[in-house]
Structure 1
Amino acid sequence: MGVIFNTFIAAFSSIGTMFDGSSGIIASVLTMSRFEARFSANPSIQGAIVSTFSGGCFFGAAVAGWLNDRYGRKRTIQFGASIILWGCAMQTGAHNTATLIVGRIVAGFAIGILSMTVPLYNTEIAPPKIRGFLVGLTQECIGVGFLVANWVGYGCQFIDSDASWRLPLGLQLLPAGLLLIGIQFLPYSPRWLLEVGRDKEARRVVSLIHQTKGSIEAEEAAEQEYNEMHDTIKAEILVRSRKISDLWATHAMMKRTLISCAVQIFTQFTGINIISYFGPLMWQSLGMTGGKALLMQGIYGVVGPIATLIFILSVVDRVGRKKPLIFGAATFVATFSIVAAILATNPVSDVSTKPADPGAQIAGIAMIFLTNIVFSASFGPVSWVLASEVFPTSTRSIGTSVATCCNWAFNTMLSQVSPIGLNNIGYKFYLVFVCFNFVNLIVIVKFFPETKGKTLEEMADVFGDSISNAQKTELETENKIMDESDNYAS
């Protein structure tokens, strides 16, 4: 029952990250004739509608660290869900471009908060043996969000009224409302409770997560985990300063911060978002148009969530984090090289004058699908797991916030420069990602540690910044005095 309960908590809280995927519904909406008539078909305006969302995400992730430390993970998720309701309502009811763009910024701000907080919350409530699976549900929900967005947008385009674009934007209100109400009934993070001095509540949450009722073994495991996190967190509080400079104050903290930020940046450098965004153009370059292109795009959206689910269920907590990242980076070097070669020999401009080569068509489809599958079983879920689990409790919120900001900053940058690059140098632009992934591979092999199976408190041993003996002795003395006082009072 403990695993089932933990999975339910992580899966329900991850509803918030579905908006990261469902935000992709704007891609379908932009092409609808009713939407273009209401707003504009001007590429610059449509570009602003898309890019302002990512900007909002960046600022949301930036303030989420402070919100998590001040109000906790659970309340921050509630806050993000309420802001999503506001932003989606503005988009759904928009009658001019300004209102739509402001709604996009507001919704992006909220998703920035949730994209940082949900993995953090799941990291802190997850047992070490299944932490990869539980935090990996973040990527699973993002994939499901993209899948639902693609098909809802496709179905709604046949509606001959403004409902064609208002309905898909408005449907985002349903999961937001569910998250806002439902998160109230989930437990607080026990580690945050210990930080703010609510020790008895933290003990109850640990017992609840372990489902200790009627099981001596579970009670012992819960007690051991609670004591370990209690002693470590209380010792960290003695030296905590809550400054962003803490992220590079020591060599060990600098390494934690660089790895957390690097895995998020490297995820953008894989080029998966470029493949997804320009998927229809790639199908066209391979000679697939009309219904065939739509079918391929729909299937493409399905394979990602399936690959992620298999990976987080069977691989990430057995094989670890580092090996999938190495495999992913090496595979992307090969797939992007092949994709570039195929596009070089099958340029888009030639599709109308000569049929696509069947062999190149099959190879291109295979490489695009392989890239999606490998990403969904490597960088996709692992980036969320690793970025939040490497930090100590005292800097976990702000550290995860900075790492998530890196994700959104490079997401925004690449989404802006990629159309320019593809327009100016065509297939050669994909060679940029060959180079990026080669650098990713070298850095991961040389500098990334393995963190699977470690408790969050044991990360100090991995990075070499364990709590000093003096701090532990001071804490043990305080605990002994408190125990003696309790015994005397009773």
Structure 2
Amino acid sequence: MGILFNTFIAAFSSIGAFLFGYDSGIIASVLTMSHFEARFSKRPSIQGAVVSTFSGGCFFGAAVAGWVNDRYGRKRTIQFGATIALWGCAMQAGAHNIATLIIGRIVAGFAIGVLSMTVPLYNTEIAPPKIRGFLVGLTQECIGLGFLVANWVGYGCQFINSDTSWRLPLGLQLLPAGLLLIGIQFLPYSPRWLIEVDRDDEARKIVYLLHDTKGSPELEEAAEREYIEMHDTIKAEVLVRSRKLSDLWATRAMIKRTLISCGVQIFTQFTGINIISYFGPLMWQSLGLQGGKALLMQGIYGLVGPVATLVFILFIVDRVGRRKPLMFGAATFVATFSIVAAVLATNPVTSVSTKPADPGAQIAGIAMIFLTNIVFSASFGPVSWVLASEVFPTSTRSIGTSVATCCNWAFNTMLSQVSPIGLTNIGYKFYLVFVCFNFVNLIIIALFFPETKGKTLEEMAEVFGDSVNTQRALNEGKGSESENDVKDSVSIARMP
């Protein structure tokens, strides 16, 4: 039951990621609905504001989540995010003017910022090293499922001839938020956070639970060894930490960790994938697909991402690693966005054009957009969440993941605000920006990103060359359990 239990925990907590994907995806459909446009506006600036205010809320939610995680733990922070999500979703569904809608978007965004930072952090800290890529990659899988459900809900709701067409899909977010709020109560705390706040006995029990020892001496010994490594490293880090933001650049090793974590989140935005996710119907329209056909294509598009992510996290990420998929993804995006730009440049389709879209060019453009989604779902999508949360030591993992996620949302906000304007005003030239971005991504990843697959979170010091010897710090501070103490500790752990 060990791996199955770990998978269940990661999958259930990733309902928070599902909310992220659903809210991000449903707005792409809602923005094109006639009743929504009639009540609010179809101007690109208003559409950009509806999307970017959500992303701005996410930025502030991710910023606050670092402190909340350190103070109250991962589980309570997820509950906090789910509670705020209920509030924001209700405001969006009940909005009667643009001000209420935008405030609801900000509140919901704040909640998603909290969850988008905390869910991969929690999954990272409960995952065994050999399947950490898979368990943390479930974050992206559930984001993709959220987009998929949102696309088909949006497609179906377009046929409702009233404001319910957009209120219903926005209101459906209340269901997963409520489920997450209640269900997370029954999942375990992160054992690493428990050790950090001196709840060591609880942490040991959870490590044994995650290993599913069932009285097996071999499994109990393996669990105890992991607990001791975890305990010693975290206690040593506690002795030298200061809890300041400046810790993220206090040493050369920490600067590298911070740049890698923030970099992979920023580069994920530079891939251009969210332009398709948020404004997909506009892209399909630029290729000659109008009205319901554009929403139908967006729904079909959403199918391929979760399938690609599932294959990747099951069979590739923990074997191939993190760095190679990122390089492959960046190189592929240079090609796909170049082709999309070329198709639109040579076969322009406008709202006033009487010339039908060229079928060959249309197929080529659609194929490249689909390929971009498949490759993203098997590279930057899951790897960005895995890498950003696994590189930091426990003493700075919350604040470091928070800062990295803030970087993600800061660039998400900027791109979501300017994208509808760029798509409307400069057409194919806007895609050339992402050709350049992805070329830069490729060069930086190839030169500076390390490989972290298969390492325990405590072994990341070897990868980044930390100058602090945590074992020595612990021995000088409070002492530690030696290798010969493992069996004795197992015996103690068995006692009621």
Which TM-score bucket, shorter chain as reference?
over 0.9
Q: Supply the AA of the counterpart residue of 1:155.
A: G
In the alignment, which residue of structure 2 is the partner of 1:202?
Answer: 203
In the alignment, which residue of structure 2 is the partner of 1:188?
Answer: 189
**CA, structure 1 residues 426+35, in 2 after alignment: closer, same or farther (shift >3 Å)?**
closer
In the alignment, which residue of structure 1 is the partner of 2:161?
Answer: 160
**CA, structure 1 residues 216+324, in 2 after alignment: closer, same or farther (shift >3 Å)?**
same
Give the superposition deviation at 1:129.
0.3
For 2:331 and 2:355, the matched residues in 1 are separated by 34
Matched, 1:257 2:252: no
Deviates more, 1:294-303 or 1:36-45: 36-45
For 2:39 and 2:398, the matched residues in 1 are separated by 41
Deviations 1:213-240 (A, max 9, x none): 1323221221111000100000001101
For 1:262 and 1:450, the matched residues in 2 are separated by 15
Give the superposition deviation at 1:353.
3.5
TM-score (norm 2): 0.93
Matched, 1:29 2:30: yes
Matched, 1:470 2:472: yes
Give the superposition deviation at 1:153.
1.7
Corresponding pairs, count: 483
Residues 395-414 of structure 1 aligned to structure 2 (within 5 Å): 395-414=396-415
Matched, 1:428 2:429: yes
Equivalent residues of 1:231, 1:475 under 8 A apart? no
Q: Counterpart of 1:348 in 2: which secondary structure?
A: coil
In the alignment, which residue of structure 1 is the partner of 2:330?
Answer: 329
Deviates more, 1:423-432 or 1:221-230: 423-432
In the alignment, which residue of structure 2 is the partner of 1:65?
Answer: 66
In the alignment, which residue of structure 2 is the partner of 1:378?
Answer: 379
Deviates more, 1:170-179 or 1:153-162: 153-162
Give the superposition deviation at 1:478.
6.3
**CA, structure 1 residues 253+422, in 2 after alignment: closer, same or farther (shift >3 Å)?**
same
Give the superposition deviation at 1:288.
3.5
Give the superposition deviation at 1:36.
3.6
In the alignment, which residue of structure 1 is the partner of 2:149?
Answer: 148
In the alignment, which residue of structure 1 is the partner of 2:303?
Answer: 302
Equivalent residues of 1:234, 1:475 under 8 A apart? no
Equivalent residues of 1:287, 1:351 under 8 A apart? no
Deviations 1:173-228 (A, max 9, x none): 11111000000000000000000000000000000111011323221221111000
In the alignment, which residue of structure 1 is the partner of 2:228?
Answer: 227
For 1:196 and 1:280, the matched residues in 2 are separated by 48
Equivalent residues of 1:232, 1:467 under 8 A apart? no
Give the superposition deviation at 1:291.
5.2
**CA, structure 1 residues 449+217, in 2 after alignment: closer, same or farther (shift >3 Å)?**
same
In the alignment, which residue of structure 2 is the partner of 1:14?
Answer: 14
Q: Counterpart of 1:349 in 2: which secondary structure?
A: coil
Equivalent residues of 1:337, 1:434 under 8 A apart? yes
Q: Counterpart of 2:214 in 1: which secondary structure?
A: coil
In the alignment, which residue of structure 2 is the partner of 1:171?
Answer: 172
Deviations 1:105-156 (A, max 9, x none): 1111010000000000000000000000000011111111111111112212
Equivalent residues of 1:335, 1:371 under 8 A apart? yes
Which residues of structure 2 form unaligned runs of 5+? none
Q: Supply the AA of the counterpart residue of 1:470.
A: R
Q: Counterpart of 2:427 in 1: which secondary structure?
A: helix
Q: Percent identity?
A: 85
Equivalent residues of 2:45, 2:421 under 8 A apart? no
Deviates more, 1:280-289 or 1:210-219: 280-289
**CA, structure 1 residues 350+478, in 2 after alignment: closer, same or farther (shift >3 Å)?**
closer
Equivalent residues of 1:286, 1:351 under 8 A apart? no
Which residues of structure 1 form unaligned runs of 5+? none
Deviations 1:87-109 (A, max 9, x none): 11122222332222211111110
In the alignment, which residue of structure 2 is the partner of 1:438?
Answer: 439
Q: Supply the AA of the counterpart residue of 1:303.
A: V
For 2:168 and 2:381, the matched residues in 1 are separated by 29
Q: Supply the AA of the counterpart residue of 1:181.
A: I
Deviations 1:416-435 (A, max 9, x none): 22233334432122111111
Matched, 1:341 2:342: yes
Residues 442-461 of structure 1 aligned to structure 2 (within 5 Å): 442-461=443-462
**CA, structure 1 residues 361+163, in 2 after alignment: closer, same or farther (shift >3 Å)?**
closer
TM-score (norm 1): 0.94
CA RMSD of aligned residues (A): 2.0
Q: Supply the AA of the counterpart residue of 2:235.
A: K
For 1:43 and 1:431, the matched residues in 2 are separated by 20
Equivalent residues of 1:73, 1:189 under 8 A apart? yes
Equivalent residues of 1:320, 1:450 under 8 A apart? yes
Equivalent residues of 1:285, 1:351 under 8 A apart? no
For 1:284 and 1:61, the matched residues in 2 are separated by 34
Give the superposition deviation at 1:475.
4.5
For 2:95 and 2:427, the matched residues in 1 are separated by 36
For 2:42 and 2:291, the matched residues in 1 are separated by 21
**CA, structure 1 residues 441+478, in 2 after alignment: closer, same or farther (shift >3 Å)?**
closer
Give the superposition deviation at 1:261.
0.2
Deviations 1:340-394 (A, max 9, x none): 1111111123994434333323322221111110000000000000000000000
**CA, structure 1 residues 41+295, in 2 after alignment: closer, same or farther (shift >3 Å)?**
closer
For 1:7 and 1:172, the matched residues in 2 are separated by 23
For 2:450 and 2:375, the matched residues in 1 are separated by 21
Q: Supply the AA of the counterpart residue of 1:217.
A: E
For 1:3 and 1:169, the matched residues in 2 are separated by 35
Deviations 1:69-96 (A, max 9, x none): 0000000000000111111112222233
**CA, structure 1 residues 357+26, in 2 after alignment: closer, same or farther (shift >3 Å)?**
closer
Deviations 1:308-348 (A, max 9, x none): 01100110001000010011011111111111111111112
Q: Supply the AA of the counterpart residue of 1:406.
A: C
Equivalent residues of 1:320, 1:451 under 8 A apart? yes
For 1:98 and 1:365, the matched residues in 2 are separated by 36
Equivalent residues of 1:235, 1:467 under 8 A apart? no
Q: Counterpart of 2:479 in 1: which secondary structure?
A: helix
